[in-house]
Structure 1
Amino acid sequence: MENCVLRCASASCYDEVYGRDALEEGEVDTERGRAFRSCAREELRRLRGYQTFGTE
């Protein structure tokens, strides 16, 4: 179930970090977890950069 949640949060980051070696049920991988969070934060920053709020 963890893989599904991570993939829904960011499919591109999931593929980059876990694509070749998915987490096994109950597995904790701190290093890859940090890499995924970093990737997802950067993706969110990029997405927010594309939004414009009330500017004309």
Structure 2
Amino acid sequence: MQIADLYIRVSTDEQADKGYSQRDQHERLERYCIQNQITIGQVIFEDHSDD
């Protein structure tokens, strides 16, 4: 059995606005895992920093 941890990150506001939102990434990764019979372990969300 394969297990994957998902790391979901948006580095800029522009990415979030142009279809690479965290929600979109999560849905795509989850769909991939389901289609390929990969169990999802941790889901890590990280937003962009203003540094």
Which of the five TM-score ranges fits, normalised by the shorter chain?
Answer: 0.3 to 0.5
Question: Which structure dedicates a bigger proportion of its chain to strand?
Answer: 2
Greater RCO, CA 8 A, separation 6+? 2
Q: TM-score, normalised by structure 1?
A: 0.33
Question: Which structure dedicates a bigger proportion of its chain to helix?
Answer: 1
Please say which structure displays the higher CA radius of gyration. 1
Q: TM-score, normalised by structure 2?
A: 0.36
